[in-house]
Structure 1
Amino acid sequence: MADARPAGAPTVLRVVLGKRLQDLREKAGLSYEEAGRALDVTHATVRRMEKAEVGLKIPYVEKLLRVYGVLDAEEVEGFLALAREANRPGWWHRFRDVLPEWFSAFVSLEGEANLIRAYEPHYVPGLLQTEDYARAVLRAGMPHAPEADVERAVAVRRQRQALLTRDRAPLLWVVMDETVLRRPIGGPEVMRAQLDRLVEATDLPHVRLQLMPFAAGPHPAMYGPFHIFRFPIRELPDIAYAENLVGASYFDQRDDVSAFLEALDRMCAQAAPAHTTKAILGGIRKEI
Structure 2
Amino acid sequence: MARAIDPQSSMAALFGSRLRKLRVAAGLTQAEVGSLAHVVSSRIAQLERATGAKPTLELTRVLDRELVADELLIDLWPYVYREAFPDWSRAFIAYSARAAVIREYASHVVPGLLQTPEYARALLSVGHTLRDAEHLEERLAARLDRQVRLTGSDRPDLWIILDEAVLRRPIGGSAVMRAQLEKLLRMSEEPDITIQVLPFDQGAHGSLGGSLTVLVMPDGTEVAYTEGAHYGQLTEEPDEVERFVLTYDQLRAMALPPLMSLAMIRSVLEADHRAASVPSRSDRRRLAQQQLQQPGGRQLRAGGGRIPRRRPGP
Q: Which amino acid aligns with 2:159?
A: W
Pick aligned residue for 1:260 from 237, 241, 244: 244
Deviations 1:196-234 (A, max 9, x none): 000001101111111001122222221211111101126
Q: Are 1:272 and 2:228 matched, yes or no?
A: no
CA gap of 1:226–1:246, structure 2 versus 1, over 3 A, is same
Structure 1 residues 89, 121: closer, same or farther in 2, change over 3 A? same
CA distance in 2, matches of 1:230, 1:239: 7
Matches within 5 A, 1:179-194: 179-194=165-180
Cα distance, 1:92 vs structure 2: 3.1
Distance in structure 1 (CA, Å) of the matches to 2:235 and 2:130:
31
Residue 153 of structure 1, CA deviation:
0.7
Q: How does 1:233-248 map to 2 (within 5 A)?
A: 233=219, 237-248=221-232
Which residue of structure 1 lines up, in the alignment, with residue 133 of structure 2?
Answer: 147
1:118 to 2:104 alignment: yes
Q: For 2:143, what is the secondary structure of its paired residue? A: helix
Q: How does 1:43-58 map to 2 (within 5 A)?
A: none
| Cα distance in 2, alignment partners of residues 189 and 115 from structure 1 | 32
Distance in 1 separating the partners of 2:261 and 2:229: 30
Amino acid at match of 2:207: A
Flag the 1:215–1:149 CA change in 2: closer, same or farther, 3 A: same
Greater relative CO, 1 or 2 (CA 8 Å, sep 6+): 1
TM-fit CA distance, 1:95: 3.2
**Alignment partners' CA distance in 1, 2:235 and 2:120:** 27
Q: What is the distance in 2 between the residues matched to 1:218 and 1:175?
A: 15
| RMSD (Å), alpha carbons | 2.3
- Deviations for 1:144-187, whole angstroms, at most 9, x for unmatched residues? 53222111111011100011111131011111100011111100
Q: State the percentage of identical aligned residues.
A: 35
2:121 is paired with a residue of what secondary structure? Answer: helix
Partner of 1:282: 266
Aligned pairs for 1:121-270 (under 5 A) are 121-142=107-128, 145-233=131-219, 237-270=221-254
Equivalent-residue separation in structure 1 for 2:254 and 2:108 (angstroms): 18
Number of aligned residue pairs: give it.
202
1:29-44 alignment to 2 at 5 Å?
A: none
1:131 Cα offset (Å): 0.3
Q: Sort the Cα spacing of 1:160 and 1:99 in 2 relative to 1 into closer, same or farther, 3 A.
A: same
